[in-house]
């Protein structure tokens, strides 16, 4: 309904030349009670659209992102992810589906979950998956709970979980949270599990070995078949942390290595950019024997249709509201389907090639504690620079910012002093890799010629070196207008 027609008022210069039709807003009065109606004007900043756009554009330019350049964070796989997958996840049928909708009205969404579970079974060689866990760490906990439930059902609950000393910190935490006693397994001089040492550690009280393959040193556990045999011989299970699946997809399958339980990180390997606390997903795959214990509900096929199965008396129960981070699953399926089996294999091949290219190019300039061929990442240390000049991995990382690169993962894995863990991922061209390698070489020269430059780096960023301890202890999380601008 138009309440006021378009009237031209040419004769009166004090009035506007025309009036616009009023909007047809239903009467709001009476719909809200007195408490909800505010009496004051909210204190929004009075800024124009241009000012707002410029403010946020300026902020975004102060940030470093994968869309700007190489982001070599090892163990985190910050790779560029196809933008088309974001589009697919944004389709109304996915993005606006209500999590409480009856199954018959969201068959497409259930099909995505089921198809992704099936694809992950193919890729990993395991028999069933749940996509409920919303991160790798939660996947680990769910995996441990499944192992616990399985062993308990056989009247054989055990107390110990073995974990190599190179493992990600979440591994011991998850095992501990599940009530297990964690026992460390030392890596051998090549950075791998020594089967002889393992044999001594595996007893009838070991519920599982949690192995990361390739491990966090970027080294493939080539004795994995023996490792599986040793653990199984004593009635234990083999858990694999699959955060590094990027190196394996389409080439080898954990299920074929003897792995019983596995988590993967969709936000590392299958097309969701991660970092900044964004949504993740840590699906857990299992062998057939553990299927009755899967979290509920399980997406099942009943005739032509898909349904949610809650009637699973041996289930460990629900571990996450609704279906986990569903849109991350949509992106993962879009990624796997667009690449196909050969594309998925090529991803692994190039990620391994790129990591080895960096390792070979920087070998001798930066120290390599474990000189084994790399998988998808390589771990250097600051040993050579530190001994010669006093420069540390922190200084090197900060100086990389001046050279236009995001620093690599630092000080992890813990068994490498002064670690610089570099994962280029498959998305980088040779030109970009060469640029990064040149920067690392230049930093080594700078360390020898004028170490003070590195000690005070970064010099060209929006903020200089921060007091990270103070920032963690007294975080200022709210922007405040300066008192005397």
**CB closer to ligand PLP, 212 vs 271:** 212
Confirm or reject binding of residue 374 to ligand PLP (CB under 6 A).
no
End-to-end Cα spacing for the chain: 49
| Alpha-carbon gap, residue 309 to 324, rounded angstroms | 16
Exactly one of 85, 132, 187, 216 binds ligand PLP (CB under 6 A); that residue is 216
Entry field: residues in the chain: 485
Q: Is 191 in the site for ligand PLP (CB under 6 A)?
A: no
Nearer to ligand PLP, 85 or 212 (CB): 212
- The rounded distance, in Å, linking the Cα atoms of 386 and 439 is 18
Q: Which of 130, 246, 249, 265 binds ligand PLP (CB under 6 A)?
A: 265
Work out how close the CB of 73 gets to ligand PLP at its nearest, in angstroms, rounded to a whole number: 10
> How many Cβ atoms from other residues are within 10 Å of residue 195's Cβ?
16
Tell me which residues in 14-73 interact with ligand PLP (CB under 6 A): none
Nearer to ligand PLP, 258 or 283 (CB): 283
213 binds ligand PLP (CB under 6 A): no
Binding to ligand PLP by residue 377, rule CB under 6 A? no
Asked if 168 touches ligand PLP (CB under 6 A), the answer is yes
Residue 167 beta carbon to ligand PLP: minimum distance, rounded to whole angstroms? 7
CB-nearer residue toward ligand PLP: 267 or 399: 267
Q: How far, in Å, CA of 297 to CA of 239, rounded?
A: 23
117 binds ligand PLP (CB under 6 A): no
* Number of other residues whose CB lies within 10 A of the CB of residue 399: 25
Between CA 239 and CA 143 the distance in angstroms is 8
439 φ/ψ angles, rounded to the nearest 5 degrees = -65, -45
Strand-pair partners of 128:
286
By beta-carbon proximity to ligand PLP, the closer residue of 94 and 412 is 412
The Cα 92–Cα 96 span in angstroms is: 5
The residue assigned the tokens 């090639």 is: 353
Give the residue with the Cβ less far from ligand PLP, 206 or 217: 217
136 binds ligand PLP (CB under 6 A): yes
285 binds ligand PLP (CB under 6 A): no
User: Which of the 8 DSSP states describes residue 246?
Assistant: G
Q: Does 212 bind ligand PLP (CB under 6 A)?
A: yes
- Orientation of helix 326-362 relative to helix 107-124, angle to 10°: 30
Closest-by-Cβ residue to ligand PLP is: 136
Report how many helices (DSSP H) and strands (DSSP E) the chain contains, helices first.
16, 12
* Contacts of residue 458, Cβ cutoff 8 Å, sequence gap at least 6: 398, 399, 401, 402, 464, 465
Near ligand PLP by CB under 6 A: residue from 250, 282, 285, 297: 282
> In terms of DSSP bridges, do strands 128-130 and 378-381 run parallel, antiparallel, or are they unpaired?
unpaired
Q: Judged by CB, which is closer to ligand PLP: 409, or 427?
A: 409
Q: Which of 79, 59, 399, 86 is nearest to 249 (CA)?
A: 79
CB of 221 to ligand PLP, least distance (A): 13
Rule CB under 6 A: is residue 135 a binding residue for ligand PLP? yes
Please, what is the minimum distance in Å from the beta carbon of residue 265 to ligand PLP?
5
Question: Of 91-99, 240-248, 303-311, 332-340, which segment contacts ligand PLP by CB under 6 A?
Answer: 240-248
Report the nearest approach of ligand PLP to the CB of residue 148 (Å).
19
Residue 315, interface with ligand PLP (CB under 6 A)?
no
Which region, judged by CB under 6 A, interacts with ligand PLP, from 9-17, 129-137, 143-151, 224-232? 129-137
Token duo for residue 213: 């393959």
The kind and range of the H/E element at 128 are strand 128-130
Region near ligand PLP per CB under 6 A, out of 54-62, 105-113, 133-141, 456-464 = 133-141
**Region of 164 on the Ramachandran plot (φ > 0 left; ψ -120 to 50 alpha; else beta):** beta
Which stretches of the chain bind ligand PLP, using CB under 6 A?
A: 75, 135-137, 168, 170, 212, 216, 241, 243-244, 265, 280, 282
């Amino acid at each position: 309904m138009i309440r006021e027609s378009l009237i031209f008022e040419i004769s009166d210069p004090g009035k506007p030349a025309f009036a616009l039709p009023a909007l047809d807003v239903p009467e709001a009065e009476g719909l809200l009670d007195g408490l909800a109606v505010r009496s004051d004007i909210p204190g929004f900043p009075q800024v124009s659209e241009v000012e707002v756009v410029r403010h946020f554009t300026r902020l975004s330019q102060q940030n470093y992102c994968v869309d700007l350049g190489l982001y070599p964070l090892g163990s985190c796989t910050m790779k560029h992810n196809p933008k088309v997958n974001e589009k697919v996840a944004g389709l109304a049928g996915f993005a606006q589906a209500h999590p409480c909708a009856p199954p018959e009205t969201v068959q497409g969404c259930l099909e995505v979950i089921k198809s992704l579970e099936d694809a992950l079974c193919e890729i990993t060689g395991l028999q069933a998956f749940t996509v409920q866990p919303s991160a790798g760490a939660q996947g680990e906990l769910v995996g441990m709970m499944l192992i616990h439930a399985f062993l308990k059902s056989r009247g054989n609950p055990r107390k110990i979980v073995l974990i190599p000393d190179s493992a990600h910190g979440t591994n011991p935490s998850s095992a501990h949270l599940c009530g297990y006693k964690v026992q460390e397994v030392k890596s051998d001089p090549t950075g791998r599990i020594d089967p002889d040492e393992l044999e001594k550690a595996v007893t009838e009280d070991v519920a599982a070995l949690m192995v990361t393959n390739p491990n966090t040193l970027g080294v493939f556990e080539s004795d994995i078949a023996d490792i599986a045999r040793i653990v199984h011989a004593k009635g234990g299970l083999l858990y694999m942390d699959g955060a590094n699946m990027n190196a394996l997809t389409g080439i080898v399958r954990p299920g074929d290595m003897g792995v019983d339980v596995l988590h993967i990180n969709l936000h590392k390997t299958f097309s969701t950019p991660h970092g900044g606390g964004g949504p993740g997903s840590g699906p857990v795959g299992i062998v057939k024997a553990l299927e009755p214990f899967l979290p509920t509900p399980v997406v099942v096929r009943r005739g032509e249709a898909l349904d949610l199965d809650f009637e699973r008396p041996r289930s460990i129960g629900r571990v996450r509201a609704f279906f986990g981070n569903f849109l991350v699953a949509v992106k993962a399926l879009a990624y796997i389907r667009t690449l196909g089996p050969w594309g998925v294999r090529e991803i692994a091949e190039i990620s391994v090639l790129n990591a080895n290219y960096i390792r070979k190019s920087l070998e001798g300039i930066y120290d390599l504690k474990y000189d084994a061929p790399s998988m998808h990442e390589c771990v250097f240390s600051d040993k050579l620079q530190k001994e010669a000049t006093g420069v540390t991995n922190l200084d090197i990382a900060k100086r990389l910012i001046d050279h236009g690169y995001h620093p690599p993962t630092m000080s992890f894995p813990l068994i490498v002093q002064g670690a610089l863990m570099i994962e280029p991922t498959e998305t980088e061209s040779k030109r970009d890799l060469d640029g990064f390698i040149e920067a690392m070489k230049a930093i080594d020269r700078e360390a020898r010629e004028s170490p003070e430059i590195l000690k005070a780096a970064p010099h060209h960023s929006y903020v200089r070196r921060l007091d990270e301890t103070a920032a963690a202890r007294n975080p200022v999380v709210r922007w405040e207008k300066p008192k005397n601008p």
